[in-house]
Amino acid sequence: MAKHFEITELRNAIRISAGQDLPLWARILVSFISAVAALSIAHALPGGWDWLVAVCIAAIAFATARGPRVDLSVTNVEFVTRGNIGHRDSKATQVVCTGDVRGLEFQDSIGRRAGVYALTARSQQCILPFVDYSESMQVISTIQKKFPGLAESWKAGSSSSEHFLTLGLGKGKSE
């Protein structure tokens, strides 16, 4: 399954897009269902255009069928995630205030989506699914470089050094 991953640095923010493409069998299924629906509707058209309309609709459906996608906008105030956040692939928006975040880390555990998680005092929230470990480290590093004050506040507000490793602020780096 092909992946989509892109980091864009803006003047006062970072925009990260991630997602997965639908497998070929799912794209074919979507185009077939679209063609059948178009054929049943276009059958009422005069002049035998129904098959041409059905083939065109199937081609358009095949070309435009996409998998789940998510966009993360990062500012010095908040993390805003839009897209397929939950397991039900429903479109949603999630906002996490940077003041509540104690660190960022990659998680890939059973029963949860792999991705970048914001660690708060009460929970761990996935703010960027569909990324692997190396992409997560790239995202965290980009956030750290763009907003160094956030990383410093995470370092000062946490009593555990495990999150510093994820942010590149602790053991393994010269201090």
In a domain, 174, yes or no: no
Shared domain for 77 and 159, answered yes or no, is yes
In a domain, 175, yes or no: no
Considering its fold, how many domains does the chain have in total? Answer: 2
Shared domain for 30 and 102, answered yes or no, is no
- Tens of pLDDT, residues 25-47: 988 998 999 888 888 887 777 77
Q: What percent of the chain has pLDDT over 70?
A: 82
* Strands across the sheet containing 101-107: 101-107, 115-120, 124-129
Compute CA distances 41 → 35, 47, 64, whole Å.
10, 14, 21
Between 66 and 144, where is the model more confident?
A: 144
Shared domain for 162 and 120, answered yes or no, is yes
How much is the pTM? 0.72
Shared domain for 105 and 159, answered yes or no, is yes
- Least Cα distance to 106 among 121, 82, 127 occurs for 127
Question: How many Cα atoms occupy the beta-carbon half-sphere of 108 within 13 Å?
Answer: 9
Q: What confidence tier does 175 reach under pLDDT thresholds 50, 70, 90?
A: very low
- Tens of pLDDT, residues 99-149: 899 999 999 888 788 899 999 888 888 999 989 999 999 999 999 999 988
With a cut of 80, say whether residue 86 has pLDDT above it: no
User: What's the mean per-residue pLDDT of the chain?
Assistant: 81
Residue 39 lies in domain = 24-64
